[in-house]
Amino acid sequence: MATSLTQDLTTPNGARYTQPLGLFINNEWRAAKSGSTIQVISPSTEEEIACVQAAGVEDIDDAVKAARQALRGPWSELSGTERGALMWKLADIAEKHMEAMAVIDTWNNGKRLSSARGDVEELAGVLKYYAGFADKIHGKVINPSAQKLAYTLKEPIGVCGQIIPWNYPLGMAAWKLGPALAAGCTVVLKPSENTPLSILYFANLIKEAGFPPGVINITNGLGSVAGAALASHTDVNKVAFTGSTATGREIMKLAAINLKSVTLETGGKSPLVVFEDADFEQAVNWSHYGIMANQGQICTATSRILVQQSIYDKFVTAFVERVKSVSKVGDPFADDTFQGPQVSKSQYERVLSYIEKGKQEGATVSLGGKPYRSPQGKGFFIEPTVFTNVTDEMTIYREEIFGPCVVISPFEDEVIHRVNNTTYGLGAAIFTQDITRAHAVAKKIEAGMVWINSSNDSDYRIPFGGYKESGIGSELGEEGLAAYTTNKAIHVNMGSRL
């Protein structure tokens, strides 16, 4: 009996569509050679949505071979202008399918529908942004002497393995696909086993846009199997990974087998500093958004709030009220919901274990601190949680929770040491109306990104990356292209004789 590679589904809000279930290799849908599948669960209901094929080592090898063939063949024959046109066409098609992909992500991921629509907008925006670079990647001419001419070529780095997380399935795919395609690379992309559905739907749009076979291959599977096979494959030239710091370390070890290039965007425990002269209302509002958006499942979430002692009590009161009034937990399809469920049972249990650890170590729960029970009594929902009376040595202050949990701590005058006293260095935020202080503090913070008077309003035109254990390299912006090109120097003898 043949394995079905599609399934007709009806979403919780009544939308009907056909869900691809297979592996997208060489512009074809395939079953996994091992017959392995992954059960995809709705975090809102804890019920199965579908079972998708799970790539094994042989499937990854097939995808890499397809990508290599495309790199040497039809894709390399296209000009940058032609590549950019295909990327722009894909972005246009994605916009036409916005509602379908947003609904799928809300069902599969648990994020509210309005946020999921924003992710599709970002997907299209990133593709268009990098489409504009596709015909502008070039080298330089160098004249070292009258007898010598040299010039450089910027060439695609090759076949790229891209491993994306579950918190922004479509957005993270775009962050990786955009610069790779613009540079002329080919891709084997592995989505998270928790959230493969929207990316599989997107695969059909790739074929519709007219991309040659093998340029983009999508191989859903377990990280320990498909992800490891991709990171260690000796015919993959580069690996780009977004996820936990612990997994990032393993990716580096596997990539070292053939010294492939690595870009890592990993964990964070980002601080947000509120000085006494800040615009108080805006500091409260942005602080709330910086940690509670997307169920707290953001690598740059400003989960450590440090408030100057003179306004600390006032800030805590206002922040708690803000959370109460805005962070409504519930059905992610409902218009008035701010916070949906955590993405999976394991993530739900992980967040709750950190909450219990905070209580055990003596922190005060000023709000939340418990599971949230939906009217149906199911789903991986957690109350937004605010901890006070927190010391810098506590686990909840030092480790990434990746959920709707924040710690608020006062400071007197010196705060830079506390801000930087962490193994992470992804993001940070500062709230002050003193422009001199703002820039001076921003310069001293050891983080790849610093927001002044906002938090987590990232933009794909601005580079994104971290210090320390928060990653290696940058994504987005013009800098994001560098990871997908390699320089070749051509030396021309203009008459020098031996």
Distance CA 298, CA 397 (A): 16
Pair 62, 209 in one domain: yes
Range of the domain at 57: 6-266+474-486
Distance CA 283, CA 45 (A): 35
Residue 219 lies in a domain: yes
Residue 426, domain CATH: 3.40.309.10
Distance CA 466, CA 460 (A): 15
Pair 261, 275 in one domain: no
Hey, what are 447's tokens? 């983080």
pLDDT tens string 211-256 = 999 999 999 999 999 999 999 999 999 999 999 999 999 999 999 9
pLDDT tens string 349-406 = 999 999 999 999 999 999 999 999 888 889 999 999 999 999 999 999 999 999 999 9
How many CA atoms, within 13 angstroms, populate the side-chain half-sphere of residue 110? Answer: 33
- Tell me what pLDDT residue 151 has: 97
Domain count, the chain: 2
Residue 214, domain CATH: 3.40.605.10
Pair 64, 193 in one domain: yes
Pair 229, 338 in one domain: no
Report helix, strand or coil for 225. helix
Pair 76, 199 in one domain: yes
Active site residues: 265
pLDDT tens string 181-221 = 999 999 999 999 999 999 999 999 999 999 999 999 999 99
- Tell me what pLDDT residue 1 has: 53
Pair 89, 65 in one domain: yes
Spatial neighbors of 153 by CB under 8 A, at least 6 apart, are 139, 487, 488, 490
Distance CA 81, CA 289 (A): 39
Residue 464 lies in a domain: no
Pair 345, 447 in one domain: yes
Q: If pLDDT is split at 50, 70 and 90, which confidence band does 2 have?
A: low
- Tell me what pLDDT residue 413 has: 85
Residue 280 lies in a domain: yes
Neighbours of 62 (CB within 10 A): 19
Pair 194, 220 in one domain: yes
